[in-house]
Amino acid sequence: MDHLTLTRPDDWHLHLRDGAALAAVVGHTAAVFGRAVVMPNLKPPVRTTADAVEYRERIRAALPAGSRFEPLMTLYLTGTTPVAEIDRAKASDAVIGVKYYPAGATTNSDAGVRDLNEARPVLERMQEVGLPLLVHGEVTDPSVDTFDREAVFIDRVLAPLLRALPRLRLVFEHATTREAVAFVKDHAQAAATLTPQHLLLNRSAMFQGGLRPHLYCLPVLKRESHREALIEAATSGSPQFFLGTDSAPHGRTTKETACGCAGVYSAHAALPLYAEAFESVGRLDRLEGFASHFGADFYGLARNPDTVTLVREPWHVPEGYAFGADTLVPFRAGETLGWRVAPEARA
């Protein structure tokens, strides 16, 4: 098979940043994806529907002329988010979910929730009105090993949460472990996004031939048996697992430094990377559901009306992209991928 035509995909987890960084990256996503769920971890975070509407305007203003890309906005849950904000979000045409970052778990998460009990009335309201909770699923307890933080989060936080609020719709963002896959399968109201790097790589890749800061993201890459569980979930045909790149741009100088930022930039090559992952297990036939159907279905949105075509053709990934005054080193920089998106889709 040399061509694969799919319903236009959507990216259900994306970091677009703001200002010059936004302008540098948004075109990559907008060239291929119909829509993307835009993460709210700006500085300061996107806390209110009004913030989200303004941010959506800045994203739209940064799009290439003629783009029909649609940003789907999220709110950043804090210990002081009022219940009324949930009603405003639900009533808006901008906000499709609320992101829960445990405070301190990752980039710009300081304003996140310290104790989920603080947010209980807000979560109850979300359950009532059917607004999904998008979860960064890691405990921040420094005594918990980095590689165990997702599994421990399920036991300490998520399982009790869904016992208390059994109808809360939940997206387990960037799931990285077999425990997360099992948890999602056990809860019909839950779904998970899966990133290209967690489908393609295990944790050894971070240390192959030396330290690879551009492969450092949170949650961190896990061991091979977890990667296999993720691939199995992604290619299973289950509508509970769908595409979310977690593409997270950071300038080269903030990655190649003594204390580097977490985040892998994959928006430039997202669909070819997922195609590679699916093809590795002979399951290209399941890519369309994962990339283009199941996320829209979960969020109750129409699937995109048009298509994109992947072509089996070597594509050389640039060493870097301009990123304000810095450079952005993309996933697979300088390497050759086996698939590319046909140019006619790059309107």
Of Zn ion, ligand DOR, none, which one does residue 31 interact with (CB within 5 to 8 Å by kind)?
none
Binding site for ligand DOR (CB under 6 A): 15, 41, 106-107, 136, 217-218, 248, 262-263
Q: For 155, which DSSP code?
A: I
Question: Residue 263 or residue 284: which is nearer to Zn ion going by CB?
Answer: 263
Binding site for Zn ion (CB under 5 A): 246
Of ligand DOR, Zn ion, none, which one does residue 48 interact with (CB within 5 to 8 Å by kind)?
none
Sheet (strand 336-341) strand order: 3-7, 307-316, 336-341
Of ligand DOR, Zn ion, none, which one does residue 327 interact with (CB within 5 to 8 Å by kind)?
none
Question: Residue 251 or residue 263: which is nearer to Zn ion going by CB?
Answer: 263
Which position has the token pair 């977490």?
A: 262
Given the residues 93, 246, 297, 326, select the one marked as catalytic.
246
Of ligand DOR, Zn ion, none, which one does residue 177 interact with (CB within 5 to 8 Å by kind)?
none
Q: How far is the CB of 332 from ligand DOR (least distance, A)?
A: 17
Q: How far is the CB of 39 from Zn ion (least distance, A)?
A: 5
Contact criterion met (CB below 8 Å) for 321 and 330: yes
What distances in angstroms separate CA 306 from CA 60, 62, 106, 287, 343, one per listed residue?
20, 23, 36, 16, 15
How far apart are alpha carbons 227 and 285 in whole angstroms?
20
How is 166-225 classified by DSSP, letter by letter? TT--EEETT--SHHHHHHHHH-TTEEEEE-HHHHH--GGGGGTTS--GGG--SSPP--HH
Question: Residue 113 or residue 218: which is nearer to ligand DOR going by CB?
Answer: 218
Q: How far is the CB of 274 from Zn ion (least distance, A)?
A: 16
- Tokens linked to 98: 């609320």
Question: Residue 269 or residue 345: which is nearer to Zn ion going by CB?
Answer: 269
Among residues 203, 226, 229, 227, the alpha carbon closest in space to that of 216 is found at 203
Q: How far is the CB of 248 from ligand DOR (least distance, A)?
A: 3
Q: How far is the CB of 28 from ligand DOR (least distance, A)?
A: 16
Question: Residue 92 or residue 107: which is nearer to ligand DOR going by CB?
Answer: 107
What distances in angstroms separate CA 21 from CA 81, 154, 325, one per listed residue?
27, 33, 9
* 19 torsion bin: left (phi>0), alpha (psi -120 to 50), beta (else): left
Q: How far is the CB of 43 from Zn ion (least distance, A)?
A: 15
Question: Residue 200 or residue 248: which is nearer to Zn ion going by CB?
Answer: 248
Provide the residue count of the chain: 347
Neighbours of 300 (CB within 10 A): 10
Quick check: is 18 catalytic?
Answer: no
- Point out the residues that are catalytic: 246
